[in-house]
């Protein structure tokens, strides 16, 4: 698919005035020439929770992200719609909840399930944008190969799981997570060795994927600037960074920014009292890495090392994003470019005794979102209004003066433009998210409470199990308050009941004989071949969430 480069003869408006003109228009829906549209830079960060200086985390060393947030509006109560890489990215790109589409799994195939979906970049391409993607945008791995239809030029792919130190990989062997994230050996993952949970070599930034993706994003911005000056074509560039996703592989100097003795350690390390076992998470992704014990407790020193790795990785990705923003300024694109920063979900760092994500709890679901719309957002602003990943698609459409998205997929997001204008303006009174375990957990997060209902689609409401958390009286979710507060449960359950009955988890399996091949560009002069050997039936590695073709025993419990 190629995006058009329309309106070469459109009148050229001085850049600094473009957004002001757009936003001053009484209706954002009025037709605007492509040459008059703002650019979009969408920055995706894998597994980034709001452990950032700008969110008040005193342990974080994230000066570039703090400065970026200060350019526009920081959302202090933003939530992902499902705390897993692949589905979360689908919710962002489709504007649809996973419970609307059925895209719940790492291996869920977008075009198998919603063949004619119009993704956010496709919507922008239809309106004259050149759309590009770099790094981790759609999830690649676990049988997925991204979505070539979404972007106008071939995706710039790079690694997610990456090691430089041979000791991290038993001397250079293919490790489990490397295989999963490059669609190799999917039928025999458990026979592969575990890779290291972290490494801290003396290395250049560009020795790792995030450094290369930043450098390539800068090159793309330079080309986009020249193109815009030449023919007025606006750009939509999605740039995806992979740290602080595990493994915490980052150059040593980013580790050295942090004193491990001063990092925040988990305070409450048990499942919430009186919570249903359906909600609990044992082991999972963290156990795919050595030296994490496959079963049993993680020792205090290892906990501290893992937390150190998370903060070091966040500092590393912060520096890479800083280079991109610096280039945007140097190219004088900042006045005419809307920037969104989005973390795909949160992260447990030992709180509740849980590591990584894949839960319906606060730490796995709260995300950072910044939106910088020059001439529209006020620098240094923040809001306590609730926001969801699905809101970004309609928000960006409105800010760019495009028609609001209409699907064909369910558009579950609402535009946050009113909140961007006025931090007190409420566009939603709750955020919604879901996570499927043995049962499907759907959650309502209000300013004060979270209700989680555990029930599979089609099962009677009477069989549902509930969790209620009160973040005013119990911010660390130490206890399930549902039994003590039947009226609050009833009220929030009624809010949940107003949503359509969720789409069941798909039992559709890919053709197991099908091989899918994606050709990636040469990366630092080394070709990176990503080959899918889709054999979902046999796939069964730690680090994955339930999804089509996996956890079939669990799926049998569903209708
Ligand atoms: Ca992720």
Is 263 part of a structural domain of the chain? Answer: yes
Cβ-based neighbours of 135, under 8 Å, separated by 6 or more:
44, 156, 157, 158, 209, 210, 213, 239, 240, 241, 242
- My answer on whether 335 and 469 are in the same domain is no
- My answer on whether 65 and 188 are in the same domain is yes
How many angstroms separate the alpha carbon of residue 179 from the centre of ligand 1? 17
Residues 383-419 have pLDDT tens digits of 999 999 999 999 999 999 999 999 999 999 999 999 9
How many angstroms separate the alpha carbon of residue 78 from the centre of ligand 1? 15
- My answer on whether 415 and 506 are in the same domain is no
How many angstroms separate the alpha carbon of residue 389 from the centre of ligand 1? 13
Averaged over 106-129, what is the pLDDT? 95
How many angstroms separate the alpha carbon of residue 46 from the centre of ligand 1? 4
- My answer on whether 340 and 422 are in the same domain is yes
Residues 79-101 have pLDDT tens digits of 999 999 999 999 999 999 999 99
User: 405, 432, 459: which is the final residue of a domain?
Assistant: 432
- Distance (Å, whole) CA 291 – CA 556: 34
What local confidence, expressed as pLDDT, does residue 507 receive?
55
- Judge whether residue 18 has pLDDT over 80: no
How many angstroms separate the alpha carbon of residue 419 from the centre of ligand 1? 26
Which is more confidently placed, 151 or 559?
151
CATH number for position 458: 3.30.1120.10
How many angstroms separate the alpha carbon of residue 106 from the centre of ligand 1? 10
What pLDDT band is residue 296 in, cutting at 50, 70 and 90? Answer: confident
Average pLDDT of the chain? 87
- Distance (Å, whole) CA 520 – CA 41: 22
Structural contact between residues 146 and 152, judged by C-beta atoms closer than 8 angstroms = no
How many angstroms separate the alpha carbon of residue 11 from the centre of ligand 1? 42
User: 413, 432, 451: which is the final residue of a domain?
Assistant: 432
How many angstroms separate the alpha carbon of residue 167 from the centre of ligand 1? 25
Is 559 part of a structural domain of the chain? Answer: no
Averaged over 291-295, what is the pLDDT? 95
Which is more confidently placed, 20 or 493?
493
How many angstroms separate the alpha carbon of residue 197 from the centre of ligand 1? 16
How many angstroms separate the alpha carbon of residue 40 from the centre of ligand 1? 22
Residues 170-198 have pLDDT tens digits of 999 999 999 999 999 888 998 999 999 99
Region of poorest pLDDT, from 31-45, 250-264, 428-442 = 31-45
Is 75 part of a structural domain of the chain? Answer: yes
Is 443 part of a structural domain of the chain? Answer: yes
Would you call 85 a catalytic residue per the annotation?
A: yes
Among 8-22, 25-39, 354-368, name the most confident range: 354-368
Q: And the tokens for 302?
A: 């290892």
The domain tally of the chain equals 2
For 490, the domain range is: 433-519
- My answer on whether 206 and 67 are in the same domain is yes
Cβ-based neighbours of 124, under 8 Å, separated by 6 or more:
40, 131, 236, 396, 400, 402
301 three-state secondary structure: helix
Residues 151-168 have pLDDT tens digits of 999 999 999 999 999 999
- My answer on whether 410 and 514 are in the same domain is no
- Judge whether residue 220 has pLDDT over 90: yes
Is 342 part of a structural domain of the chain? Answer: yes
- My answer on whether 306 and 178 are in the same domain is yes
- Judge whether residue 37 has pLDDT over 90: yes
- My answer on whether 396 and 487 are in the same domain is no
Would you call 139 a catalytic residue per the annotation?
A: yes
**Residue 470 DSSP one-character state:** E
Q: What percent of the chain has pLDDT over 90?
A: 82
What pLDDT band is residue 505 in, cutting at 50, 70 and 90? Answer: confident
How many angstroms separate the alpha carbon of residue 79 from the centre of ligand 1? 13
What local confidence, expressed as pLDDT, does residue 36 receive?
86
Is 553 part of a structural domain of the chain? Answer: no
- Distance (Å, whole) CA 396 – CA 108: 26
- My answer on whether 139 and 282 are in the same domain is yes
- My answer on whether 24 and 74 are in the same domain is yes
* Ligand 1 ion: residues within 5 Å (CB): 46-47, 85, 344
- My answer on whether 340 and 456 are in the same domain is no
User: 384, 409, 432: which is the final residue of a domain?
Assistant: 432
Q: What is the 3-state secondary structure (H, E, C) of 6-70?
A: CCCCCCCCCHHHHHHHHHHCCCCCCCCCHHHCCEEEEEEECCCCCCCHHHCCCCCCCHHHHHHHC
Region of poorest pLDDT, from 22-31, 116-125, 374-383 = 22-31
- Distance (Å, whole) CA 178 – CA 174: 6
Of 54, 85, 544, 545, which one is the catalytic site residue? 85
- Distance (Å, whole) CA 98 – CA 412: 10
Q: Does residue 77 have a cis bond before it (omega within 30 degrees)?
A: no
Is 541 part of a structural domain of the chain? Answer: no
How many angstroms separate the alpha carbon of residue 345 from the centre of ligand 1? 6
CATH number for position 138: 3.40.720.10
Is 273 part of a structural domain of the chain? Answer: yes
Q: What is the pTM of this model?
A: 0.87
- Please state, in angstroms and as integers, the Cα–Cα distance from residue 419 to each residue in 4, 122, 415, 502, following that order: 32, 25, 9, 28
- Distance (Å, whole) CA 517 – CA 22: 42
Kindly give the interhelix angle for 209-231 and 300-330, rounded to the nearest 10 degrees: 20
Of 33, 127, 139, 348, which one is the catalytic site residue? 139
- Judge whether residue 440 has pLDDT over 50: yes
- Judge whether residue 423 has pLDDT over 70: yes
How many angstroms separate the alpha carbon of residue 487 from the centre of ligand 1? 35
- My answer on whether 448 and 340 are in the same domain is no
- Distance (Å, whole) CA 346 – CA 58: 18
């Amino acid at each position: 698919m190629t995006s058009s480069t329309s309106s070469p003869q459109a009148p050229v408006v001085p850049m600094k005035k473009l957004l002001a003109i757009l936003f001053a228009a009484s209706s954002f829906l009025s037709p605007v020439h492509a040459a008059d549209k703002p650019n979009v830079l969408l920055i995706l960060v894998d597994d980034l929770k709001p452990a950032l200086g700008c969110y008040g985390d005193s342990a974080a060393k994230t000066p570039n992200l703090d400065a970026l947030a200060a350019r526009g509006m920081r959302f202090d109560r933003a939530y992902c719609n499902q705390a897993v890489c692949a589905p979360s990215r689908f919710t962002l790109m489709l504007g649809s909840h996973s419970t609307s589409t059925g895209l719940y799994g790492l291996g869920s195939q977008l075009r198998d399930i919603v063949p004619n979906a119009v993704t956010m970049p496709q919507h922008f391409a239809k309106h004259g944008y050149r759309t590009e993607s770099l790094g981790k945008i759609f999830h690649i791995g676990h049988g997925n190969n991204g979505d070539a239809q979404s972007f106008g030029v071939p995706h710039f792919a790079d690694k997610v799981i990456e090691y430089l130190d041979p000791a991290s990989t038993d001397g250079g062997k293919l490790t489990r997570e490397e295989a999963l994230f490059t669609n190799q050996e999917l039928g025999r993952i458990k026979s592969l060795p575990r890779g290291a949970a972290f490494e801290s070599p003396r290395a250049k930034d560009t020795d790792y994927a995030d450094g290369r993706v930043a450098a390539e994003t800068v090159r793309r911005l330079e080309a986009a600037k020249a193109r815009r000056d030449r023919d007025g074509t606006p750009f939509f560039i999605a740039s995806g960074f992979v740290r602080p996703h595990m493994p915490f592989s980052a150059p040593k100097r980013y580790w050295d920014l942090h004193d491990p003795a001063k990092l925040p350690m988990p305070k409450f390390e048990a499942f919430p009292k009186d919570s249903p076992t359906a909600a609990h998470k044992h082991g999972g992704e963290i156990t795919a890495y050595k030296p994490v014990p496959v079963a049993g407790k993680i020792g205090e020193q290892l906990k501290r090392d893992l937390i150190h790795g998370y903060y070091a990785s966040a500092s590393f990705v912060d520096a890479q994003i800083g280079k991109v923003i610096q280039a945007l300024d140097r190219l004088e694109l900042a006045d005419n470019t809307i920037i969104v920063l989005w973390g795909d979900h949160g992260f447990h760092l030992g709180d509740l005794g849980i590591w990584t994500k894949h839960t319906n709890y606060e730490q796995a679901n709260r995300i950072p979102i910044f939106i910088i719309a020059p001439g529209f957002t006020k620098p240094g602003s923040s809001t306590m209004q609730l926001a969801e990943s699905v809101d970004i698609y309609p928000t960006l459409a409105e800010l760019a003066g495009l028609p609001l998205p209409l699907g064909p997929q369910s558009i579950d997001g609402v535009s946050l433009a009113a909140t961007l204008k006025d931090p007190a303006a409420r566009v939603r009174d709750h955020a919604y998210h879901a996570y499927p375990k043995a049962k499907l957990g759907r959650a309502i997060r209000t300013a004060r409470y979270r209700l989680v209902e555990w029930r599979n689609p089609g099962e009677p409401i009477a069989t549902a199990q509930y969790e209620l958390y009160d973040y005013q009286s119990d911010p660390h979710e130490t206890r399930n308050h549902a039994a003590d507060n039947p009226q609050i449960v009833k009220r929030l359950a009624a809010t949940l009941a107003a949503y359509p009955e969720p789409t069941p988890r798909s039992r559709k399996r890919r053709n197991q004989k099908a091989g899918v091949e994606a050709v990636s560009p040469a990366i630092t002069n080394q070709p990176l071949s990503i080959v899918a050997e889709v054999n979902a039936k046999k796939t069964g590695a730690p680090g994955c969430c339930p999804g089509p073709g996996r956890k079939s025993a669990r799926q049998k419990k569903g209708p």
